[in-house]
Structure 1
């Protein structure tokens, strides 16, 4: 943790450069994560040639390395004004909900810029971040302390009551349902055309919290710049069909991932759980 703090004091562009170097090194040394990224991209982008798929996986691992170093700076160096390099689009969607006193469930996505752009996002609006506690207590403390510097609060993803209280009070809650949390309270719905175990809570939280669901994507741009993009609130959501609602969430996330696919967290086993009888796609032949 001390080393993480010390690294975070480096100039931002140097942090990014070191992070890219770390990502290039990880491509050769972190073979398990490389295999996961390659498998995900092979499944999700069948229209690409094998060479193009491998190149995309390579860039995604480099982007992940860059994100780790950016995280150190985001958590620990508060002298840096990141917002001077920020472009925001779609803010009017948030403002419209706030004007009505309506709670907002931000549909978060696990891009590699998650922590960096969350810090910038928190300077624009007050947000509460839903998270899954890390299995390692030291890492969990590092992440939670880092995020608490800029979000109003962090909420355990199992604390549905707190999410509902915040939303009904007109607050903004960031919530990302785009990881494989197992098959409990989940349905297999397509993500890039592949069955993915997807938690179904998004529609229930939105309904019970009387909240609008607004997509929130964030990207790293050339020249050290960043972009946060808010999409329009999902219309007629939830629609009453749990499977259709869950599939719609995945379709929405896929739309934003396709804009900068190399920046998505492909090193996560998004398709770890499969319908009964289907083998794991990550098993090496």
Structure 2
């Protein structure tokens, strides 16, 4: 049922989906007190309250563009994407150690995986949906040629490691809250956030370079611009140092188009079994 609905919506032009998404963003914002409170709190914490109106609309666009991204013909999706700075990708590939792409919940993060997979095989980490009704959509309609889904468990990590050792590409959402034992507390916009340690571990085990990437959503449904950014932070040696470095890099990336970050995401939740953090941390450098 849900897959059929998404496929039906995928026939609509992207400008129509984005216009409807902007309206949906305001509708959810006005009707859901918890959603509204989290969105406002997260923006205020980052000192970005002034982008609230745009952020409300961009959040809605993020939802209603998914039928297009997941279910429209691949050539139609790729035609909506302009790529910039791909010289960084060629440079990283020349080392022969694969690439660890870090893509936060910024812009149209779903289209970045499809765009890279159209060039060469890409393995991305994902968390299987808890609700059975969502599984056909996430694992079926989302699938594309050369795009391999690695579940967020031990077998998925092995898939990622195998891809890197073969000189391949992998993709991670570094601001996705990991499960107990898979992260550490690190400051993100001034508050402790449970942060995955996997990027640092994979880099340490393979020497694969880390690149940041995001797809900025253009106004009036004109498509997306996919950009690559060099990871310039000092990772350090401990999981805590690496998590702080990655969060600093994510903060800088979000600053490029702050209204398009998914501010309603519950980034600061405490996963089951994880000990809550102590005192609030000042910025991304706190411990």
Same-fold status (TM-score > 0.5): yes
Are 1:219 and 1:226, in contact at CA under 8 Å, matched by a contact in 2? yes
Q: Distance in 2 between matches of 1:112 and 1:250?
A: 17
Residue of 133, 137, 157 corresponding to 1:138: 133
Are 1:214 and 1:234, in contact at CA under 8 Å, matched by a contact in 2? no
> Alpha carbon RMSD of aligned pairs, Å?
2.2
| Alpha-carbon distance, 1:4 to partner | 2.1
In the alignment, structure 1 segments of 5+ residues that lack a partner are 279-285
Task: Give the structure 2 partner of residue 227 of structure 1.
Answer: 225
Task: Give the structure 2 partner of residue 41 of structure 1.
Answer: 43
Helix, strand or coil: the match of 2:209? strand
| Alpha-carbon distance, 1:190 to partner | 1.4
Task: Give the structure 2 partner of residue 271 of structure 1.
Answer: 268
Helix, strand or coil: the match of 1:60? helix
Closer, same or farther: CA 97–266 of 1 in aligned 2, 3 Å:
same
Residue of 75, 78, 96 corresponding to 2:70: 75
| Alpha-carbon distance, 1:32 to partner | 1.8
1:213-246 Cα deviation digits (max 9, x unpaired):
1111221122513111111254764x32322211
| Alpha-carbon distance, 1:151 to partner | 4.5
| Alpha-carbon distance, 1:182 to partner | 4.8
| Alpha-carbon distance, 1:254 to partner | 0.7
1:18 and 2:20 aligned: yes
Residue of 143, 147, 170 corresponding to 2:142: 147
Deviates more, 1:200-209 or 1:179-188: 179-188
1:1-285 alignment runs, 5 A limit: 1=2, 2-45=4-47, 53=49, 55-78=50-73, 81-158=76-153, 159-182=156-179, 184-223=181-220, 224-234=222-232, 237=235, 239-273=236-270, 274-276=276-278
Helix, strand or coil: the match of 1:203? helix
TM-score by length of 2: 0.86
Q: Distance in 2 between matches of 1:83 and 1:151?
A: 14
Q: Distance in 2 between matches of 1:86 and 1:6?
A: 22
| Alpha-carbon distance, 1:31 to partner | 2.5
